């Protein structure tokens, strides 16, 4: 089954809608420069409001930015100081081109992480730009990486089925593709996105 992470949640209504729609994981942005940044008090309240069996993910620049995080997982983009965190790590890569395959293949911190997150490179943003990258590169990374792959970058209810068919990722991650505006989700799009993923999985299993 392809897991679904809904990222950039900033308020209780959107959290509730994502959970009710069947999200497997919820992402909270902890990078202050992001328009989806969640301040400390709200962040902790949202984490506490997430029900059991739904994975919570703190999205940070470096692992050291999540030392006080109460989430199940930490997703990060840069190494920096790397404290021992009692939680699972997801290393994010911003995919540009062929050089990104080598970056993943030669990643020195592989032993410390549990999954790789693939997003489109953007010169001014760590993630959440809503831009798609070459899925052929993503597919090739899944073939060389000995880690589960989380596919992000420009996914929408309209293209996620094809993304799953081409890449066969462990999980898909969406933020911009189900938004009304940065930090506000379109609940109908949320439901449609997750339903599309479940439909793609059924098709894969049955061959219909």
Radius of gyration of the CA atoms of the chain, in A: 16
Active site residue 186: no
Catalytic residue selected from 7, 14, 24, 173 = 7
Only one residue has tokens 């009692």, namely 86
End-to-end CA, the chain: 16
Catalytic residue selected from 14, 24, 65, 119 = 119
Q: Which long-range CB contacts under 8 A does 64-71 form with residues at least 24 apart?
A: 65/30, 65/31, 66/30, 69/30, 70/44, 71/28, 71/47
**How far is Cα 165 from Cα 100, in angstroms, rounded to an integer?**
21
**How far is Cα 198 from Cα 185, in angstroms, rounded to an integer?**
20
Active site residue 119: yes
Active site members: 7, 119
């Amino acid at each position: 089954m392809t897991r679904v992470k809904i990222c950039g949640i900033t308020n209780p209504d959107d959290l509730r809608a994502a959970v009710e729609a069947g999200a497997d994981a919820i992402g909270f942005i902890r990078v202050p420069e992001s328009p989806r940044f969640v301040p400390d008090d709200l962040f902790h309240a949202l984490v506490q409001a997430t029900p059991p069996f739904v994975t919570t993910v703190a999205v940070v620049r470096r692992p050291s930015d999540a030392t006080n995080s109460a989430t199940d997982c930490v997703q990060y983009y840069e190494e920096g100081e790397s404290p021992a965190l009692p939680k699972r790590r997801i290393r994010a890569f911003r995919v540009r081109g062929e050089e990104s395959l080598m970056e993943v293949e030669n990643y020195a911190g592989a032993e410390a992480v549990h999954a790789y997150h693939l997003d489109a490179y953007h010169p001014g943003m760590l993630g959440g730009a809503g831009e798609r990258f070459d899925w052929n590169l993503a597919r090739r990374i899944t073939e060389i990486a000995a880690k589960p792959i989380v596919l992000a970058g420009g996914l929408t209810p309209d293209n996620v089925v094809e993304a799953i068919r081409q890449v066969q990722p462990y999980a898909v991650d969406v933020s911009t593709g189900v938004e009304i505006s940065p930090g506000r989700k379109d609940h109908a799009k949320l439901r449609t996105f997750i339903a599309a993923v479940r439909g793609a999985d059924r098709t894969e299993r049955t061959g219909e």
